[in-house]
Amino acid sequence: MTDIAQGSPEIVTEQPAKFAMGKSMKRKEDPRFLQGKGNYIDDINLKGQLYMALVHSPYPHANIRGIDSSEAMKIPGAVAVVTSKELNAYNVGWLPTFHGLDKQMVLADGKVLYQYQEVAAVYAETREAAYDMIELVEVDYEPLEVVNNPFKAMKDDVLLRPDREAKTNHIYNWNVGDQGATDAALATSDHVVKQHVVFPRVHAAPLEPCGCIAEFDVMGRLQFYVTSQAPHVYRTALFLVLGIPEDKIRVISPDLGGGFGNKVPVYPGYVCAIAGALVLQRPVKWIETRTENLTSSFARDYHMDIEIGATKEGKLTALKVNTVADHGAFDAAADPSKYPAGMFGIVSGSYDFPVAYANLDAYFTNKQPGGVAYRCSFRVTEASYLIERAMDIVADELKMDPTELRRKNFIQKEQFPYKSPLNFTYDSGDYEHTMDVALEKIGYKQLLEEQAEKRARGELMGIGISTFTEVTGAGPSKHFDILGIKMFDGAEIRIHPSGSGIIRTGTKSQGQGHETTWAQIVAEELGLDPQNFLVEEGDTDTAPYGLGTYASRSTPVAGGALALAARKIREKARKIAAHVLEVSEHDLEWKDYAFHVMGAPGKTITMKEVAFAAYTNPGDNEPGLEATLYYDPPNMVFPHGTYVAVVDVDRDTGETKVRRFLAVDDAGTIINPMIVEGQIHGGLTEGFAIAFMQEIAYDEAGNNLATNFTDYLIPTSLESPHWETAATCTPSPHHPIGAKSVGESPNVGSPAAFVNAVIDALSPLGVRHIDMPLTREKVWAAIRTAENAVAAD
């Protein structure tokens, strides 16, 4: 039935065998990608389209005294130049940010606040003419003092956002937990371990940059093709920004060449393209350059101070975290409105802290705005990295094995549902089991022996552990909304007379394989062939409303909607089956993927037969077989895992070689092991990049130092380690199919494993912490500094 991949994945699951789920079905979407027939944004061209390009500021902070576009308009093919003046005339000069705490300029309005900020949009008959035009738009800048970090910003010597009511660079304070009890517990703890940890500014950098084409058709309806992970949210956002009624907007998100969070925000270029299309009455196409992509948003940039209390036996007593967040020029973070710091409250991790307190202050700086995810559920990565890094420091201080410290403090499987001191109710987990599987599979004892021998010889070998917990699947409507829209998801299933069907959801795959996995979920619920389902996403005219694909929410939310919609179909099918078999529907049971008459062996009807009957012989029942369902999850899901990195550090050069890396993930029920394993491989490679090579760094003058792939590095096949994977299975008790999520776990959990491994390797020298990225130079410098300190003693 299912077309199983020949290269069956190494990942072995613990879950029981099923009909269509849990199988490594080859991906249904692949044939078009393999043949170069994917339909990405730049593959779409509309008749009569203009090309748009953007003028960017070379200054990080400057007043704009004037913009002269007269020379640019002399370029053959030049059509128009737009600045904030024109946008303001249409009342679209500023955009609301997703969580509603700020607004951002579409084009620089009077001043620029970061290098590469969009200053003007040009429109031309050809791409080449548009790029010629931007060279000739003369902007008169008056440079201002630059605030290149949040610690300078908090002094308020230079006010970056005089447009705001509050005359300060401080954006907001967020805190959770019990400060008094936490301080008291820390004051009486045997040990208090403190560490300052920075999670640097990074960027998701999908290989396909963002882009769009906007057209107002003959009926005045906006056809907006755009690289969007959340097409319905875009439609509603466009209504809010432009005032166009939603029936006059069609958002189409075509095949996406990766996203990883970068394709969640509504970028200024999109608004400029729509404004141009409206005013010029021509379709307008805009495709980002790589530099535009890397300079238009960011992830992370948290400066964190952690304090952990512990007894001398290694029992944790308290956790306190103070964070300074660098949000750049606008607070454009794409977080749910009640969670300005996202899910950072997961910072107590997998451990049973009696008390905890987390406090965060966010500031404006002269840097690119954002705070969007990079394969991360709203700041989970910062939190997970911090606690997993700190656990190793605590273990080092207490002279304990890091796995033993973790074992001693894990939330026990009997404690679920577990109310954390930072206000999450963890649904399920078995942390100790997952860690045991990982330690056994990697051969932890043997590695420790090998390490002892190497250390005796002065060689630097490290073993890094990360036993992380995530919180994903936003989210329950009580707590989660974006722009006021509750974070549910819709699913629509139609079964055709022949037992095949079409599935539509409000999510949007960027490579996750929804065209395959969604079919597997529905097929499992209905006993139909997953090969015979067409899956459609990304067109707001046809897909049911949904909040989109990011923050590991597709399977937790839309996956739940699909399973429940399929069950709705099953209930209707039961009535039709009863009619066909001439029994009462109460005499039927759904067993082994068919309806059986109880007490009458052999009297059965399959879903395929019921589907045919729904159109040919429905009896008194409403004909047809379809369902639409909106799923509002009762809780978040809490995937977890144990990752182990084994590294060798070259003492002379500082070069780190990741010799082995094992990821044991517990994502609950797995839909397609091959796809899950592929996602883990990809996420680990991104985590590897963050740990060792990626940073959007700025110099003192506010210059962005990572504006292309020669400065902002993506791992190649050569330096990427070979990944090993395994899975444990603790199904989510509240999710309709017991699924959690996995796409982001490897990016959330792996940076700490890599860094812990390197620090473990350097620990004989007395090195306690190095901030990412652990480049050769930084590691080399840490080794030399440590050696010099020893020599000086």
Show contacts with another protein in window 94-133 (CB under 8 A).
Answer: 127-128
- Should residue 470 be labelled a site residue for another protein when binding is judged by CB under 8 A? no
Q: Which is nearer to another protein, 290 or 441 (CB)?
A: 290
Q: Which is nearer to another protein, 6 or 446 (CB)?
A: 6
User: Residue written as tokens 């040009």?
Assistant: 122
Cβ 411 vs Cβ 351: under 8 Å: yes
Among 6, 165, 586, 602, binds another protein (CB under 8 A): 6
Cβ 579 vs Cβ 621: under 8 Å: yes
Token duo for residue 524: 């499992």
Token duo for residue 578: 């009863």
Among 20, 22, 23, 27, binds another protein (CB under 8 A): 27
Q: Interacting stretch for another protein, rule CB under 8 A, among 50-58, 199-207, 218-226, 344-352?
A: 199-207
Show contacts with another protein in window 368-427 (CB under 8 A).
Answer: none
- Should residue 443 be labelled a site residue for another protein when binding is judged by CB under 8 A? no
- Should residue 209 be labelled a site residue for another protein when binding is judged by CB under 8 A? yes
Cβ 178 vs Cβ 348: under 8 Å: no
Cβ 261 vs Cβ 296: under 8 Å: no
DSSP characters for 38-80? ---GGG---TT-EEEEEEE-S-SSEEEEEEE-TTGGGSTTEEE
- Should residue 71 be labelled a site residue for another protein when binding is judged by CB under 8 A? no
Show contacts with another protein in window 285-304 (CB under 8 A).
Answer: 289-291
C-alpha 250/C-alpha 213 separation (Å) is 12
**In residues, how long is the chain?**
793
Cβ 704 vs Cβ 520: under 8 Å: no
Among 34, 187, 600, 781, binds another protein (CB under 8 A): 34
Show contacts with another protein in window 573-602 (CB under 8 A).
Answer: none
Among 265, 369, 548, 682, binds another protein (CB under 8 A): 682
Token duo for residue 49: 């389209």
Q: How many alpha carbons lie under 13 Å from residue 644 in its C-beta half-sphere?
A: 24
Show contacts with another protein in window 756-785 (CB under 8 A).
Answer: none
Q: How many alpha carbons lie under 13 Å from residue 460 in its C-beta half-sphere?
A: 26
Q: Which residue in 215, 376, 470, 553 is the catalytic one?
A: 376
Among 18, 26, 164, 603, binds another protein (CB under 8 A): 26
Site size toward another protein (CB under 8 A) is: 61
Site string for another protein, 496-525 (x = CB under 8 A): --------------xxxx------------
Token duo for residue 711: 């400065």
| Least CB distance to another protein at residue 375 (A) | 10
3 state SS of 309: strand
Q: What would you report as the CA-atom Rg of the chain, rounded to the nearest whole angstrom?
A: 27
With a CB cutoff of 8 Å and minimum separation 6, the contacts of 304 are 196, 197, 198, 199, 321, 322, 323, 324, 382, 386
For residue 551, CA distances in Å to 375, 695, 708, 740 come to 7, 21, 26, 12
Establish whether 524 is a catalytic residue.
no
| Least CB distance to another protein at residue 724 (A) | 9
| Least CB distance to another protein at residue 681 (A) | 3
- Should residue 205 be labelled a site residue for another protein when binding is judged by CB under 8 A? yes
- Should residue 440 be labelled a site residue for another protein when binding is judged by CB under 8 A? no
Establish whether 212 is a catalytic residue.
no
- Should residue 446 be labelled a site residue for another protein when binding is judged by CB under 8 A? no
| Least CB distance to another protein at residue 31 (A) | 7
For residue 542, CA distances in Å to 46, 493, 536, 586 come to 21, 12, 9, 35
User: Residue written as tokens 């009807």?
Assistant: 605
- Should residue 9 be labelled a site residue for another protein when binding is judged by CB under 8 A? yes
Q: Which is nearer to another protein, 365 or 704 (CB)?
A: 704
Q: Which is nearer to another protein, 204 or 398 (CB)?
A: 204
Q: Around Cβ 275, how many Cβ atoms within 10 Å?
A: 24
Q: Indicate the burial class of 719 (C-beta count within 10 angstroms; 0-12, 13-18, 19 or more).
A: middle
Among 137, 437, 674, 737, binds another protein (CB under 8 A): 674
Single-letter amino acid code for the residue at 185: A
Cβ 521 vs Cβ 737: under 8 Å: yes
Cβ 61 vs Cβ 144: under 8 Å: yes
- Should residue 681 be labelled a site residue for another protein when binding is judged by CB under 8 A? yes
Show contacts with another protein in window 734-753 (CB under 8 A).
Answer: none
Establish whether 138 is a catalytic residue.
no
Among 123, 174, 260, 364, binds another protein (CB under 8 A): 260
Residue 703's nearest CA partner among 148, 119, 108, 104 is: 148
Q: Interacting stretch for another protein, rule CB under 8 A, among 238-246, 430-438, 672-680, 777-785?
A: 672-680
Token duo for residue 273: 């393209």
C-alpha 62/C-alpha 726 separation (Å) is 53
| Least CB distance to another protein at residue 686 (A) | 7
Q: Interacting stretch for another protein, rule CB under 8 A, among 40-48, 182-190, 389-397, 578-586?
A: 40-48
Backbone angles phi, psi at 134, to 5 degrees: -65, -25
- Alpha-helix runs per DSSP H in 425-513: 431-442, 444-456
Element (H, E) at 777: helix 776-792
Q: Around Cβ 495, how many Cβ atoms within 10 Å?
A: 30
Token duo for residue 587: 């005499």
**CA 392 to mean position of chain CA atoms:** 26
| Least CB distance to another protein at residue 679 (A) | 8
3 state SS of 598: coil
| Least CB distance to another protein at residue 372 (A) | 16
Show contacts with another protein in window 304-363 (CB under 8 A).
Answer: none
Q: Interacting stretch for another protein, rule CB under 8 A, among 111-119, 254-262, 384-392, 532-540?
A: 254-262
Q: Which is nearer to another protein, 289 or 359 (CB)?
A: 289
DSSP characters for 670-707? -S-HHHHHHHHHHHHHHHHHHHHT----B-TT--BS--
| Least CB distance to another protein at residue 659 (A) | 14
Show contacts with another protein in window 42-61 (CB under 8 A).
Answer: 42-43
Show contacts with another protein in window 701-730 (CB under 8 A).
Answer: 708-710, 714, 716-718, 720, 722-723
Cβ 59 vs Cβ 141: under 8 Å: yes
Q: Which residue in 229, 451, 510, 679 is the catalytic one?
A: 229
Q: Interacting stretch for another protein, rule CB under 8 A, among 155-163, 207-215, 219-227, 360-368?
A: 207-215
| Least CB distance to another protein at residue 517 (A) | 12
Cβ 213 vs Cβ 123: under 8 Å: no
Q: Which residue in 375, 379, 406, 570 is the catalytic one?
A: 375
Token duo for residue 154: 């908090």
- Should residue 678 be labelled a site residue for another protein when binding is judged by CB under 8 A? yes
Q: Interacting stretch for another protein, rule CB under 8 A, among 307-315, 441-449, 646-654, 682-690?
A: 682-690
Q: Which is nearer to another protein, 711 or 777 (CB)?
A: 711
- Should residue 256 be labelled a site residue for another protein when binding is judged by CB under 8 A? yes
- Should residue 207 be labelled a site residue for another protein when binding is judged by CB under 8 A? yes
Establish whether 744 is a catalytic residue.
yes
- Should residue 184 be labelled a site residue for another protein when binding is judged by CB under 8 A? no
Any idea which residues carry the catalytic annotation?
Answer: 229, 375-376, 744
Q: Which residues bind another protein (CB under 8 A)?
A: 5-7, 9, 26-27, 29-38, 40, 42-43, 127-128, 205-209, 255-260, 289-291, 510-513, 674-675, 677-686, 708-710, 714, 716-718, 720, 722-723
